[in-house]
Amino acid sequence: MNIKDRIIQQAGRLFFQYGVKSISMDEVASSLGISKRTIYENFKDKEDLLLSYLKHEFEQRNQLVREFMEQCDNVIEVFLHIMEIHKTASFVNVKFYEDIYKYYPRVNAFLKNEHNKANDFLIKFLQKGIEQGVIRENLNVKVVAFLVEESTSVYIRASYLEKPPFSFSELTSTMMINFIRGISTEKGIKIVDEYLMKHQIEQ
């Protein structure tokens, strides 16, 4: 991995865990054993670094979804694969999003734009599932696309809980399995159940 990618990855990890504002460029540099100057040779400022990190994350996410869509027979299986990816994540420090909202307008605008693109994509994706007979045809896809994007906020608020009575992985799988079953036809639910049985996933 080149130095630029290493900086992006480490900064992202620190921002996610402690928030953006509380992490200095010095801390990013020293945690990598490099000089602050090396960071500034690659990134204009902290907002630039944060934006590079998020762009990288979204590109990776979109690439994965494209791969899943090629590999999978139907929309339900794509959702289930995405669930598997999500489960390996962890609670994000609420300061991460609060800081972006308060202090980094360019990043905020970027997230808003990604959100809109994701919404448009999701509506088409759900309609494809309806054509495949795995998603209910009388489903209000606009509301459902909104709810999918909203799930990010559920994770954020769960990370506010002082003593969460469940793990991040339990939250993700229960939420996603319920969600997928909820929008599925009988045929879709069978695909879910077979997948869960095969992978022995808790629901």
Positions in the binding site for its own copies (CB under 8 A)? 136, 138-140, 142-144, 146-147, 150, 153-154, 157-158, 165-166, 170-171, 174-175, 177-183, 202-203
Q: Which is nearer to its own copies, 10 or 152 (CB)?
A: 152
What is the distance between the alpha carbons of residues 14 and 52, in angstroms, rounded to a whole number? Answer: 14
For every residue of 58-120, DSSP letters joined together read HHHHHHHHHHHHHH-SSHHHHHHHHHHHHHT--PPPHHHHHHHHHH-HHHHHHHHHHHHHHHH
Q: Which is nearer to its own copies, 70 or 202 (CB)?
A: 202
Q: Closest approach of Cβ 12 to its own copies, in Å?
A: 25
DSSP letter, residue 199 = H
The amino acid present at 192, given as its one-letter code, is V
Q: Closest approach of Cβ 40 to its own copies, in Å?
A: 37
Name the 3-class secondary structure at 159: coil
Distance of alpha carbon 181 from its chain centroid, rounded? 20
Which tokens belong to 168?
Answer: 């991040």
Q: Closest approach of Cβ 132 to its own copies, in Å?
A: 18
Q: Closest approach of Cβ 81 to its own copies, in Å?
A: 18
Q: Which is nearer to its own copies, 57 or 170 (CB)?
A: 170
Q: Which is nearer to its own copies, 90 or 203 (CB)?
A: 203
Nearest to 73 by CA among 197, 201, 190: 190
Q: Closest approach of Cβ 164 to its own copies, in Å?
A: 8
Q: Is 191 exposed, middle or buried (0-12, 13-18, 19+ CB in 10 A)?
A: buried
Q: Which is nearer to its own copies, 37 or 199 (CB)?
A: 199
